[in-house]
Amino acid sequence: MWGRGVVGVLFCLVGAVWIAQGTNVLHGSSMSGHGQWTAIGGGMLAVGLALLAWAWRVGKSPAA
C-alpha cells in the first residue's frame, strides 16, 4: 500500500513539472514550450492520481 502511494506522489510531481514545462510556465529546459510534454505530463498525473486512489482504497478496506 505505501509503495503505491509513494509512486503515486512521485508520478503526480513529475507530471505537474512536465505540464508546467510544456505550457511554458517553467522555463529553462529543452522541454519548455512543447505541447507534447503537456500531454505526457497529463498522463503521468492521471496515473499518479489513480495510484493514490488505489492505495487509499486498499488502506481503508478491513483486513481479512
Q: What is the pLDDT of residues 34-47, one digit of tens each?
A: 889 999 999 999 99
How far is the C-alpha of 13 from the C-alpha of 42, rounded, in Å? Answer: 11
- Domains of the chain: which residue ranges? 2-59
The pLDDT, as a whole number, for residue 61 is 66
Which pTM was predicted? 0.83
User: SS3 string of 1-64?
Assistant: CHHHHHHHHHHHHHHHHHHHHHCCCCCCCCCCCCHHHHHHHHHHHHHHHHHHHHHHHHHHCCCC
Q: Could you report the per-residue pLDDT of 8-39, keeping only the tens digit for each?
A: 999 999 999 999 999 999 888 888 888 899 99
Question: What is the average per-residue pLDDT within 50-56?
Answer: 93
Q: Angle 53-24-29 (CA atoms, 0-180°, nearest 5)?
A: 95
